[in-house]
């Protein structure tokens, strides 16, 4: 299952784990309340900007089992923020992290961006059947070729809004480098400054002749990722 909350916030259910990524549930596009999010196993935060850390404190409070996964310095910060450092799992960019009791492969990837705590990242989540890539906030970068080659994500969540991240022009090149089967656009339309739109990305990947589906999700929408392929 994949659910989009708007902005860069997603919920994934992979091999029985409920995962939130960049859980700014109370973003302007969302009708949902962070307090209603329950039974979370992992909260992954790609970098330390407020629109990605989002409602981590509220969700961590309401989900005492949930662990927070992030780059080391951000995990330390978030552990202090929730008043429970033991629940923050800090790793770094490279091979998949060892997370106690979790069979998924979760690897932090580079991102070309900034962050107040450690380096900004993206994340790859590989389950038995499906592999997801959430790029975090980033520009296009040649590393996407490596991410595509090593992890072969079928579903890529890519920022397209511009100004702070790629817009559809850069994102179309990112799609070429990553070769996913499906792109779910994110980080657009939340504010007027995030001007990129999924239809522009769709036209640009067609121009490049890429065999990929651009699958825009409405905030609050839930889908079965297998149906997207």
Task: Say which DSSP state 83 is in.
Answer: T
Q: How many residues belong to the site for Zn ion (CB under 5 A)?
A: 2
Residues 29-68 contacting Zn ion, CB under 5 A:
49
Residues 133-152 contacting Zn ion, CB under 5 A:
137
> Can residue 22 be called a binding residue for Zn ion (CB under 5 A)?
no
d(CA 117, CA 169): 29
- Per-residue binding string, Zn ion, 101-140, x by CB under 5 A, is ------------------------------------x---
What burial letters (b/e) apply to 33-63, b meaning 16+ CB within 10 Å?
A: ebeebeebbbbbbbbbbebbbbbbebbbebb
Q: Please, what is the minimum distance in Å from the beta carbon of residue 9 to Zn ion?
A: 13
d(CA 104, CA 183): 21
Neighbours of 12 (CB within 10 A): 23
Q: Please, what is the minimum distance in Å from the beta carbon of residue 111 to Zn ion?
A: 9
What the block records as the tokens of 96 is: 């998949």
Q: Please, what is the minimum distance in Å from the beta carbon of residue 49 to Zn ion?
A: 4
Q: Please, what is the minimum distance in Å from the beta carbon of residue 132 to Zn ion?
A: 19
Q: Of 191, 179, 181, 186, whose CA–CA distance to 217 is shortest?
A: 186
Of 18 and 52, CB closest to Zn ion: 52
d(CA 122, CA 228): 21
Name, in order, each residue with C-beta under 8 angstroms of 94's C-beta and a sequence gap of 6 or more: 107, 108
Q: Please, what is the minimum distance in Å from the beta carbon of residue 138 to Zn ion?
A: 9
- Per-residue binding string, Zn ion, 170-209, x by CB under 5 A, is ----------------------------------------
- Give contact residues for Zn ion (rule: CB under 5 A): 49, 137
């Amino acid at each position: 299952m994949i659910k989009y909350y708007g902005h860069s916030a997603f919920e994934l259910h992979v091999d029985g784990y409920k995962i939130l990524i960049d859980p700014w549930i109370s973003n302007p596009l969302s009708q949902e309340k962070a307090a209603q999010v329950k039974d979370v196993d992992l909260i992954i935060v790609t970098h330390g900007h407020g629109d990605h850390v989002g409602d981590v404190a509220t969700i961590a409070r309401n989900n005492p089992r949930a662990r927070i996964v992030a780059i080391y310095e951000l995990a330390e910060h978030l552990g202090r923020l929730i008043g429970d450092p033991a629940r923050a799992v800090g790793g770094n960019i490279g091979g998949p992290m060892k997370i106690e009791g979790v069979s998924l492969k979760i690897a932090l990837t580079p991102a070309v961006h900034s962050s107040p705590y450690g380096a900004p990242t993206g994340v790859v989540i590989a389950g038995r059947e499906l592999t997801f890539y959430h790029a975090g906030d980033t520009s296009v970068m040649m590393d996407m070729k490596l991410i595509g080659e090593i992890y072969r994500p079928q579903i890529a969540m890519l920022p397209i809004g511009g100004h702070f991240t790629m817009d559809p022009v850069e994102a179309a090149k990112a799609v070429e480098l990553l070769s996913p089967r499906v792109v779910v656009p994110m980080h657009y339309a939340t504010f007027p400054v995030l001007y990129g739109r999924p239809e522009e990305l769709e036209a640009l990947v067609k121009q490049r002749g890429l065999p990929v589906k651009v699958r825009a999700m409405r905030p609050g929408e839930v889908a079965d990722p297998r149906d997207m392929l």
